[in-house]
Chains A and B, each alone.
Chain A
């Protein structure tokens, strides 16, 4: 069976300070809804949305996470197996921008991808509808992205559905391109732990003896 026919499942993690709008971004993208009411996120939870990229259907599994550490009492095991990490900040809140470094570091430490320098990150600056209250200029965000190996940057508004669709599409593309490069970010099968040496290669085993 050809592997390309298979529907791809991509795991995307959204990280950022409390109140920057991670849940709103995900809700806008998946459900096309927005609410002004603030509700804190507890733990981590995902929603999925299918997206067509060229001729492939890709299921994006988007993990929305709690920005407040006290709501992560079980740790951050949900970082495991991520294909892309979305960092979000609030353009009207300079502190949320300053935290980006620690979110990125924390992700790289906890998820420990094989090639941390080339792991796909995307930066979203949310709440651009509140232009008059802006505290972080687009230039400043871009130069941060540059310093981290040219992370793509999108200015979005979950409230006005501005750029959200485009940003997530780009995220999916990035993660997919990465997957097709067959560079596996997370080591899966160290050879020495193969349970059954007969199954060393796919072609040799004619049948499954399970």
Chain B
């Protein structure tokens, strides 16, 4: 079948090519004759190329191309003829007579139409009569395809000539006609074209029915152009439309009893005429819909009409003519129509039922923004149908599901405020007909809209309402695939939602966060790892809010403490339920740093508690050695950020860090971690130091020595060398920073060992790099010595190089 049509296309291309070639060459000759003033000869050539339009070999699309080329040429002819005969029209009648004698009808009629147009444009004869003649003579062609194109040519070339002045008496209108004559002309042409088009269906063998239908679908715009032409008449007023034009069209449509024609022409009427006209004829139009043959998908017609009028803005509906229904009636009329339609067509597929409601809801939401109950009514009516038909679950990506998605998106998109959805109680009930995936998709869409529109949740009703809409994302579900990408994306959306909770004051905000925490906490281990951290962050943010107004609230101390307790419990759930380690560890450390910044009573208790909790996680729950190193670094970093811990609390935490460093599983990790921890004893601040650094040189040296000792135990030369350089740098750093307990001999001893090591390393890129690092360390040490003993100003790198050269 496919192969057949391929061959067919190739054949058609060939036939078209042949025909166009003749059109081109004859048209060329025609133009040459015109240039020489041999008009009669030119017409003969025109007849020759127009003869190609008699072909029966081409399908509509190919014929259209041939037609287009031919009328491009005719247009050239017309232009020249008008030019020539505007001054002297005497010879025009002669030409007309001659063409009459042309042997074949198709070329003759094309030329006669062209000449008719030239007559009118040259101001000869009665326009009214000429138009009438032309539309009548086209009856001579009864072959559907050729007739349709000929009449399309007539319609196209007379476009700007149609009389378009209001009806009235006068010399001019008697000769040229009025808009009524134009309407008659087009309506006759329309009726004839529609008949040709419908007749096509019944010609030829029945096995080619499908092909014929396809051909007819392609040709439909030719028929529709008649309606376009009517809609372009400026003087065609509403009264004429209501009285004459629409009834004639509808009569033609209904009486032809052809489903393709009926469905297309009804939609065409909707598209080409103005809204005012539709509003004045709603009942007539809808009545005609009821008379269409059963094969017509009336739902499409109705949807087209509703969608068109839904675009019509509220303001323009007011103040229409008396015939137009009031705004309220409009929705009711369409609801009733939709209901009747669904009732009368029990076989209507469910996706059509839903898509009909898409249009109704769209009309309700767009045109009646102040009447939320209209939209709710449409949702209700759909739910009743779903219930009646025993629908249980609608597949997200099925035919019905896609329509349902469209339906649910309308109020979300239009209201731009998902909180308003709670005014549509039926929305949720319809949403719940979706399968799990469908519910999740819609929930995500709701959150996305809320984020895009910056819709804040300001009280517990609002939180409850939104959480109810997105319930599918919040609760455990057998179908949920927690490993899927979708799942992570959706839960991240829920997490972002938390940040939209925004009460008017801090106390209410705390209550709202508690509520959200409780509801999100029910999501189970795979969800809370996404949804609880934002709660914790919001709590910390709230603490800062309390700090800012501490002078106005005498209970602020207690309140802040309560928030930390709440945060601690929330983080605790991440440890116990979600079985996470690093994430809660970080959240504890964040809490500790926040608490240290906020001067509530005994804030150090919270700092201690939070840091120690993070250290227990490090002890008990972080197994991977690289993770342990990183977590210890984070802990040390956080401790360095605090400055309000009393010495008695600070000490155990610091020693715990040192212990943890020494207990690392791999020796190199021990060395590196010890160097990290040494920081604590130098840069750390406690309550007692009053903002100054501890600078406990004794402990620093102890720790670094321990690091050297462990480094020495590493047997791998390259690794040992790396560690030596690290420790060496650390020593140099503290020496530079004025650590009295470090003496230069100690460092130089280590330096020598390192330099000796370097010589023994095998040649490798790594060894090269270590070589460079060592050179840098040496340079740095020299610089430090220089600074300590001689020069008070900081020496530049060049000075240092000079020293080096001198020594060399």
Contacts and interface: CB of A to CB of B under 8 A. Distances in A.
Interface of A: 1, 3, 6-7, 9, 11, 30, 33, 37-43, 45-48, 59, 61, 71-75, 77-78, 80-81, 188-189, 193-195, 202, 208, 210
A205 B504 CA distance: 95
5 contacts: A30-B160, A42-B227, A46-B156, A72-B221, A74-B61
B224 A42 contact: yes
B221 A11 contact: no
A30 B218 CA distance: 29
Given A1-B36, A42-B228, A45-B156, A37 B272 contact: no
Given A39-B272, A42-B225, A45-B156, A75 B231 contact: no
B159 A81 contact: no
A11 B75 CA distance: 10
Nearest to A48: B160
Interface in B4-44: 21, 24-25, 28-29, 32-33, 35-38, 41, 44
A11 to B, nearest CB: 7
A135 B477 CA distance: 44
B68 A45 contact: no
Interface stretch (B76-84, B178-186, B441-449): B76-84
B231 A39 contact: yes
Contacts, number: 109
B275 interface: yes
Contacts of A59: 79
A98 to B, nearest CB: 19
A73 B271 contact: no
B470 interface: no
A197 B221 CA distance: 41
Interface string B37-59: 11001001100000000000000
Contact of A74 (B60, B232, B274): B60
A80 B41 contact: no
A43 B61 contact: no
Interface in B290-312: 311
Contacts of B276: 37
B133 to A, nearest CB: 23
B72 A43 contact: no
Interface string B260-280: 000000001001111110000
A48 B156 CA distance: 11
B198 to A, nearest CB: 16
A60 to B, nearest CB: 11
B217 interface: yes
B218 A40 contact: no
Given A9-B76, A37-B275, A193-B21, A43 B228 contact: yes
Contacts of A39: 228, 231-232, 271-274
A9 B564 CA distance: 83
B275 A75 contact: no
Interface of B: 21, 24-25, 28-29, 32-33, 35-38, 41, 44-45, 60-61, 64-65, 67-69, 72, 75-76, 79-80, 83, 156, 159-160, 217-222, 224-225, 227-228, 231-232, 234, 268, 271-276, 311
Contacts of B218: 73-75
A73 B219 contact: yes
A81 B72 contact: yes
A40 B75 contact: no
B221 A43 contact: yes
Nearest to B227: A42
Given A7-B80, A41-B228, A73-B219, A202 B159 contact: no
Name the prevailing secondary structure of the A interface residues.
Answer: loop
B271 to A, nearest CB: 4
A61 B79 CA distance: 11
B21 A77 contact: no
A33 B69 CA distance: 30
- Among A3, A73, A194, chain B packs the most CB atoms within 10 A around the CB of A73
Contacts of A78: 68
B64 to A, nearest CB: 4
Contact of A80 (B44, B65, B275): B65
Given A39-B231, A74-B64, A81-B72, A189 B221 contact: no
A96 B1 CA distance: 39
A81 B41 contact: no
A6 B80 contact: yes
B45 A210 contact: yes
Contacts of B21: 193
Pick the 10 closest A-B CB pairs, nearest first.
Answer: A43-B221, A37-B274, A40-B271, A77-B68, A77-B65, A74-B64, A42-B224, A1-B35, A73-B218, A77-B64
A6 B82 CA distance: 12
Contact of A43 (B37, B44, B225): B225
A59 B36 CA distance: 21
A208 B36 CA distance: 10
A43 B64 contact: no
Contact of B220 (A37, A73, A193): A73
A80 B65 CA distance: 8
B480 to A, nearest CB: 36
Contacts of B219: 73-74
B75 A9 contact: yes
Nearest to B234: A33
A188 B224 CA distance: 32
A193 B68 contact: no
A189 B24 contact: yes
Given A1-B37, A189-B24, A210-B45, A45 B224 contact: no
Contact of A45 (B28, B41, B67, B228): B228
Given A47-B160, A210-B41, A188 B271 contact: no
A23 to B, nearest CB: 9
Nearest to A2: B35
Nearest to B214: A73
A195 to B, nearest CB: 5
Contacts of A46: 156, 159
Contacts of A7: 79-80, 83
A69 B44 CA distance: 38
A208 B273 contact: no
B236 to A, nearest CB: 12
B626 to A, nearest CB: 48
B273 A74 contact: no
B217 A80 contact: no
A45 B24 CA distance: 23
Contacts of A9: 75-76, 79
A37 B36 CA distance: 48
Given A71-B271, A80-B69, 13 more contacts: A3-B35, A6-B35, A30-B160, A39-B231, A42-B268, A45-B228, A46-B156, A61-B75, A73-B220, A74-B60, A75-B65, A193-B21, A208-B41
Contact of B29 (A30, A40, A193, A210): A210
B24 A188 contact: yes
Nearest to A30: B160
B379 to A, nearest CB: 29
A106 B222 CA distance: 22
A73 B234 contact: no
Contact of B33 (A6, A42, A45, A208): A208
A177 B742 CA distance: 89
Contacts of A202: 32
A80 B68 contact: yes
A43 B227 CA distance: 12
A147 to B, nearest CB: 30
Contacts of B24: 188-189
A61 B156 CA distance: 12
A3 B69 CA distance: 22
A80 B45 CA distance: 21
Given A1-B37, A37-B275, A195-B25, A42 B76 contact: no
Contacts of B273: 39
